[in-house]
């Protein structure tokens, strides 16, 4: 069971029909771990490859004469044919480990919700260990044949880059990423154009566009608030990983949690398992509870149903490594939630209580633990 997401194709890469499959190879990060595919890009234009190490950026910068130079290269043609053949075999295989070991265990895919993904440096959606681990999870799920789809945020300014100034002091800056030069494509909406979901904010609605990053057989949905239709103050919510300011951070994690559930729902995907990786995506649980109540369940029944399908992993089990927020932010941004499930704000506060005496913060880790089977 391979999860496939409809995407809108870009026409900015002018690739000759003879080598048209380079388009598919460029928009799938499987080239980053496939030695032959990596060599294929290097052979196409060694100078540009050393400069960019990103197939899409390289293809966009190539001179038309490059195609003439490889047209008569038997070595390049043979390597291209071999890489495409292996890519198709890998993507379309129905004889993976999961197919053999658990052929009937899951009716629907596993959804993996995470704030970071580290697969390749051309996509700076990570800061360190959590992101690299999540990238490895996606790659391993692809190799093993797990029915798996990830969700995260599209950071148009990535994570900060470090450098030293003339005095030897560390400085940092956030690069502005050009979406047309990255291996992401717009997810197609049901009526044409890019898929968008909508999230209630105080006195307004925030529109969230959905992009797709392919990691082998695994699609990762990336959510983006930098849209002209949004209030100027809301557009930067998804700009940088772990955005500064507690209120903006809360908004970012609200978009990650609520937006992930709504994006999957808009695609008709109802996961068999929801894997919440770190507390950043824990507000997905609130959206799922509301959906179950809307479908006719009581809140207690909804809680049991959500718990049965949720797993939670936490990699920094100390207070400083977990997200907590003032209850005033809960009252401001989640005031709509209690009425959807037939309760009040005090009940919502208890769901995110750490149970530590004197701690009045809303703890996303506690929310996730209370609704996880393991």
Are both 288 and 269 inside the same structural domain?
Answer: yes
Let me know if residue 12 belongs to a domain. Answer: no
Burial code (b: 16+ CB inside 10 Å, e: under 16) for 256-265 equals: bbbbbbbbbe
Mean pLDDT of 57-65: 93
Q: Quick one: pLDDT at residue 162?
A: 74
pLDDT digits (tens, 9 = 90+) for 20-56: 999 999 999 999 999 999 999 999 999 999 999 999 9
Residue 151: phi, psi to the nearest 5? -135, 145
Are both 116 and 260 inside the same structural domain?
Answer: yes
From residue 120, alpha-carbon distances to 46, 84, 131, 214, 217 in Å are 19, 21, 10, 12, 16
Let me know if residue 9 belongs to a domain. Answer: no
What are residue 197's DSSP bridge partners? 208
Number of domains in the chain: 2
Are both 119 and 218 inside the same structural domain?
Answer: yes
Domain end (from 54, 77, 96)? 96
Let me know if residue 6 belongs to a domain. Answer: no
Q: Would you place residue 160 in the very low, low, confident or very high pLDDT band (cuts 50, 70, 90)? A: low
Domain end (from 79, 96, 113)? 96
- The tally of CA atoms less than 13 A away on the side-chain side of residue 350 is 6
Are both 37 and 65 inside the same structural domain?
Answer: yes
Let me know if residue 4 belongs to a domain. Answer: no
Q: Quick one: pLDDT at residue 173?
A: 67
Q: What domain range includes position 39? A: 17-96
Mean pLDDT of 199-218: 97
DSSP state for residue 280 in the 8-state scheme = G
For residue 241, give both structure tokens. Answer: 């990983």
Let me know if residue 294 belongs to a domain. Answer: yes
pTM of structure:
0.95
From residue 305, alpha-carbon distances to 87, 104, 184 in Å are 39, 21, 34
Are both 119 and 78 inside the same structural domain?
Answer: no
| Helices 35-44/74-92 angle, 10° precision | 140
Are both 91 and 110 inside the same structural domain?
Answer: no
Are both 297 and 344 inside the same structural domain?
Answer: yes
Domain end (from 75, 96, 117)? 96
Domain at 140, CATH number: 3.40.50.2000
Alpha carbon distance 345, 334 (integer Å): 9
pLDDT at 302 over 80: yes
Are both 53 and 113 inside the same structural domain?
Answer: no
Let me know if residue 135 belongs to a domain. Answer: yes
**Percent residues over pLDDT 70 in the chain:** 99
Closest CA to 237 of 282, 207, 204, 203: 207
Mean pLDDT of 155-166: 79
Mean pLDDT of 201-226: 98
Are both 280 and 322 inside the same structural domain?
Answer: yes
Q: Quick one: pLDDT at residue 118?
A: 95
Are both 68 and 180 inside the same structural domain?
Answer: no
Are both 325 and 235 inside the same structural domain?
Answer: yes
Element (H, E) at 252: helix 246-266
What does pLDDT average to over the chain?
93
Are both 231 and 362 inside the same structural domain?
Answer: yes
Strands 110-113 and 148-153: parallel
Q: Is 322 left (phi over 0), alpha (psi -120 to 50) or beta?
A: beta
pLDDT digits (tens, 9 = 90+) for 109-147: 999 999 999 999 889 898 888 899 999 999 999 999 999
Mean pLDDT of 308-325: 86
Let me know if residue 43 belongs to a domain. Answer: yes
């Amino acid at each position: 069971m391979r999860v496939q997401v409809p995407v809108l194709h870009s026409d900015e890469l002018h690739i000759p029909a003879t080598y048209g499959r380079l388009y598919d190879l460029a928009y799938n990060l499987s080239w980053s771990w496939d030695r032959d595919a990596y060599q294929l890009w290097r052979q196409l234009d060694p100078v540009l490859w050393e400069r960019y190490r990103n197939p899409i950026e390289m293809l966009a910068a190539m001179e038309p004469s490059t195609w003439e130079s490889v047209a008569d290269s038997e070595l390049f043609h043979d390597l291209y044919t071999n890489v495409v053949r292996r890519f198709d075999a890998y993507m379309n295989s129905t004889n993976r480990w999961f197919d053999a070991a658990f052929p009937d265990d899951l009716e629907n895919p596993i959804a993996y919700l995470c704030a970071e993904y580290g697969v390749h440096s051309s996509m700076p959606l990570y800061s360190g260990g959590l992101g690299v681990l999540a990238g490895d999870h996606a790659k391993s799920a692809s190799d093993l044949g797990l029915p798996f789809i990830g969700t995260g945020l599209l950071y148009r300014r990535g994570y900060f880059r470090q450098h030293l100034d003339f005095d030897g002091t560390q400085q940092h800056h956030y690069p502005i990423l050009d979406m047309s030069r990255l291996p992401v494509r717009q997810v197609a909406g049901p009526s044409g154009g890019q898929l968008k979901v909508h999230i209630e904010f105080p006195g307004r609605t925030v529109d969230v566009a959905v992009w797709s990053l392919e990691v082998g057989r695994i699609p990762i949905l990336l959510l983006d608030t930098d849209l002209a239709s949004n209030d100027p103050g809301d557009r930067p919510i998804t700009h940088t990983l772990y955005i500064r300011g507690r209120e903006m951070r809360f908004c970012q994690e609200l978009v990650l949690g609520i937006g992930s559930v709504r994006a999957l729902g808009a695609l008709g995907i109802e996961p068999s398992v929801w894997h919440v990786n770190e507390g950043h995506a824990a507000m997905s649980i609130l959206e799922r509870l509301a959906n179950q109540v809307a479908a006719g369940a009581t809140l207690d029944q909804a809680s049991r149903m959500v718990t049965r399908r949720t797993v939670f992993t936490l990699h920094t089990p100390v207070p400083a490594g977990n997200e907590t927020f003032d209850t005033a932010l809960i009252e401001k941004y989640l005031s709509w939630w209690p009425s959807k499930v037939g309760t009040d704000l005090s009940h919502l506060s208890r769901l995110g209580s750490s149970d530590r005496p004197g701690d009045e913060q809303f703890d996303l880790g506690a929310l996730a633990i209370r609704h996880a089977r393991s």
